[in-house]
Structure 1
Amino acid sequence: MVQIKMYPAKNGDCFLISLGEIEKKHILIDCGYIDTYENFLKRDLVKIAECNEKINLMIVTHIDSDHISGAIKFIEDNNKNKFIEIDEVWFNAYRHLQSFKKDEDELQEIEKDLLEREIALGKSHLNRYNRDEITKDEISAKQGSTLGALLLQGNYNWNGKFNGGPVVSKDNKPIYIDEIKINLLSPDEDKLNKLEAKWVKELKKKKWNFTINKNELFDDAYEYMQMMYEDDSNITVSDISRQSQEGTKILEESIEIEFPIDESVNNGSSIAILIKSNETKLLFLADAHPNIIIDKLREIGEENFDLVKVSHHGSLKNTNYELASNLQSTKYLFSTNGFKHLHPDPQTIIKLLAANPMCEKQLYFNYKTETSNIFESTELQNKYNYKIITGNGEMPIVIEL
């Protein structure tokens, strides 16, 4: 048996995958915001521990606040009072970016001051966007308050399958957790190199002539700056009116239109995976770019999936027509409340439906959105042979296979 929980994570991601009947294996992918963890995820983690089970693999796909914030709070809680075992964590932090040589020279005091100020700003920014109310203590800078620092403090098995190095797709060899097979689709070395180049560019833009070294302040400053300066410059809001009577006709005309693909460096660094358990195949695409997913699926010769978590909350720039044609599935998951950038884009969904019109499909939305309303259409459901399942934002959607 395979169970997938898609949590209400606002405009973010949080998934718990449980596999097996007895001695279940659990894979946690992202943790949404702090509220996601505190209001929904934590109680399920406690239940897993009460059953003498554990998180066999925790993946934090990339450094965006809608994926990582709840993970920071989770690991902070678990460090203070360990309530659940975690076999391994996959997460690429500053220390895993390898393309730039890191000097051994000590930072000057003024450089330390600048980095500490940036950390304080980042901590304040993160908490402001994670909760309706925050305490004074949460605004203050706390050393070791980033995910990377907390993983080190808790002595977790961090990127163990990669010998402590970066989670990066170098070949097509699968990774095993007992009988569970995982293919890593993204990122590759090029995506990670671009991420580090972005970081160095940000430092230079601030006119900080730092000697980049292994000081732990860089780990914290890097993580917070990535979240503070998330790149939304390439976001395109759909020009299809969600209220127009002509919306369906215009929508169908967009099926083969190719939009510019996502160029966000943060999204490009996403950890995207294929999970295979017995005959069940699950694709979790984080916010990954479409080109790397297309290439990797072809290289490993995989098609026809049981479930696809659609990339970047259904953004039209992350699922082009070619990728949609490769994502043959009966179940598609869209994780977003639609408040940011109006995701998911209707063009993404119509591409996925049109690529496999004869097969009976289910579309899962963890919130009711303007886009989900479009696909409530009986005409569209009959034409493209699908059903729609919409959450209320107050409890997780549970999918069993």
Structure 2
Amino acid sequence: MEQKCIIHFLPAKAGDCFLLENERKACILIDCGYRSTYQNELKPLLERLAKDGCRISLMIITHIDEDHLEGAIALLEDNRYSDNPQIIPIDNIWFNGVLAVCSQSEKILSHVKEKLESSEAAKYNEVFGQVLRQLKGESGPISARESESFEVLCKKYKYNINQGFDCGLVERGIEQLFQGFRVKVLSPDRSLLEHFESYIHSELVCCFGRNYSLIQKNKFYGFLEKLLIVLGKDVKGASLGQFICSSIPNIDDWIGTSTMAAMNTVNRVSIVVEIEYAGYKMLFMGDSESQDWISNASKHYNLVKLSHHGTTKPNFELLSNVKCDKVLISTNGSRNNHPEEELLANVIVAGIPEIYFNYDIDKKDDITLLQERYNFKAIFGSREIVLK
């Protein structure tokens, strides 16, 4: 049987959702976008794959962010128990969530108590309400059901999450085989995870005071997950404007237009994986900073999912040090000027032969005009990429 890998590049608005499928009927699912991504795109694909006898050998949620995580929560709510899946079998899940991080933190665990005082409970409910009001879903306010933690759902429905890892966390150095897929974790390392732990502690101090109290209940972990999503929301900067020209654009004008903003703590703790199959090497970056792990990366990849929907800064070290045959940019362009013009210029100048977009972005016409001059091919609205 011919070996091949199909990369399903799903439209996820401003988010990420990828599924890798091989001829053995094994799949790796990386992020699930929003709830609408799951309902409109991912669920129909999973139902078709399941009908063909496929299963999810590994599901990776790279980090805590609504545009990666919401669809995963919706999937588990529909799929229910792992031993009797309603959509598709899921064998393993990787996710560095608040429950896993907090359960390893002596600093945070020292604040755990059996029951909150009435004043503490009132403060907690007040802050939780504020968080949910800021975190409106696509169809209105977040419900109590939707605020349930992804990790709590994994345990409720008995999924294997971070099985066999030291301290129960996914970190650099892990390498495993899944039905022919070799998956190697490049990031986060221990120092990034410890920084994430300190960040959670500092935000709890900010919300509840230095002597804050915690209870180890499912609702609280749901609150923490949503709090981190609110805190990690991108701050929309000033508009960079649009380059308007009837002739071929000059990409020199795109250089220097990025604010070069660094990724926040939640994004930097993204799980970054190198996946090999049938001689092909792929890289999925989540929303990470490539400078955090570039020394552990390979020098050449057949396919790379660029970080953070086409933001310049987190991809700079990658594009400066690694040869890529194909890059994927996941965004509909609705948030934060994604993809940034400077990132597009850097990709083109790097001599990458093929650039894939899952939407017809605003810069489509300009990019199309540049193809012949810079000898690359741009593919817009791509849904499947086949490596064989």
- TM-score between both structures, scaled by the size of structure 1: 0.85
Q: Where does the alignment leave 5 or more consecutive residues of structure 1 unmatched? A: none
User: Once superposed, what is the RMSD of the aligned Cα atoms?
Assistant: 2.7
Match of 2:114 in 1: 106
Match of 2:86 in 1: 82
Match of 1:157 in 2: 160
Match of 1:371 in 2: 363
Q: Could you tell me how far apart the structure 2 residues matched to 1:323 and 1:95 are?
A: 31
Q: Could you tell me how far apart the structure 2 residues matched to 1:339 and 1:295 are?
A: 33
Listed as ranges, the matches of 1:1-400 within 5 Å are 1-19=4-22, 21=23, 23-79=24-80, 82-97=86-101, 98-99=104-105, 100-103=107-110, 104-110=112-118, 111-119=120-128, 121-123=130-132, 125-126=134-135, 128-131=136-139, 134=140, 139-142=142-145, 145-162=148-165, 165-169=168-172, 171=173, 173-208=174-209, 209-212=211-214, 214-233=216-235, 239=240, 241-243=242-244, 248-249=249-250, 251-252=251-252, 260=260, 262-297=262-297, 302-320=298-316, 322-356=317-351, 361-377=353-369, 380-391=370-381, 397-400=383-386
> Any idea what SS the aligned residue of 1:318 has?
helix
Distance 1:118 1:154, change over 3 A: farther
Q: Could you tell me how far apart the structure 1 residues matched to 2:51 and 2:263 are?
A: 43
1:115-138 CA-to-partner distances (Å, cap 9, x unmatched) read 345445555654x3323xx5xxx7
> Any idea what SS the aligned residue of 1:400 has?
strand
Q: Could you tell me how far apart the structure 2 residues matched to 1:145 and 1:303 are?
A: 41
> Any idea what SS the aligned residue of 2:291 has?
helix
Q: Could you tell me how far apart the structure 2 residues matched to 1:45 and 1:156 are?
A: 17
C-alpha contact (below 8 Å) 2:188/2:270 kept by paired residues: yes
Give, as a single letter, the amino acid of the residue that structure 2 aligns with 1:362: E
Distance 1:239 1:185, change over 3 A: same
Q: Could you tell me how far apart the structure 2 residues matched to 1:259 and 1:386 are?
A: 26
Q: Could you tell me how far apart the structure 1 residues matched to 2:18 and 2:108 are?
A: 36
Q: Could you tell me how far apart the structure 2 residues matched to 1:343 and 1:329 are?
A: 20
C-alpha contact (below 8 Å) 1:237/1:342 kept by paired residues: no
1:293-346 CA-to-partner distances (Å, cap 9, x unmatched) read 31221xxxx1221111110001012111x3203331221111101110010112
Q: Could you tell me how far apart the structure 2 residues matched to 1:143 and 1:27 are?
A: 25
Comparing 264-273 with 235-244, greater Cα deviation is found at 235-244
Comparing 216-225 with 338-347, greater Cα deviation is found at 216-225
> Any idea what SS the aligned residue of 1:62 has?
coil
Shift of 1:362: 1.5
Give, as a single letter, the amino acid of the residue that structure 2 aligns with 1:201: S
Comparing 104-113 with 270-279, greater Cα deviation is found at 104-113
User: What is the aligned residue count?
Assistant: 375
Q: Could you tell me how far apart the structure 2 residues matched to 1:212 and 1:84 are?
A: 36
Distance 1:345 1:145, change over 3 A: same
Q: Could you tell me how far apart the structure 1 residues matched to 2:215 and 2:184 are?
A: 33
Shift of 1:210: 1.5
Q: Could you tell me how far apart the structure 2 residues matched to 1:288 and 1:328 are?
A: 18
C-alpha contact (below 8 Å) 1:9/1:335 kept by paired residues: yes
Q: Where does the alignment leave 5 or more consecutive residues of structure 2 unmatched? A: none
C-alpha contact (below 8 Å) 2:285/2:307 kept by paired residues: yes
1:19-53 CA-to-partner distances (Å, cap 9, x unmatched) read 2x2x3210001111111100111011112221222
Q: Could you tell me how far apart the structure 2 residues matched to 1:259 and 1:183 are?
A: 32
> Any idea what SS the aligned residue of 2:14 has?
coil
Distance 1:397 1:327, change over 3 A: farther
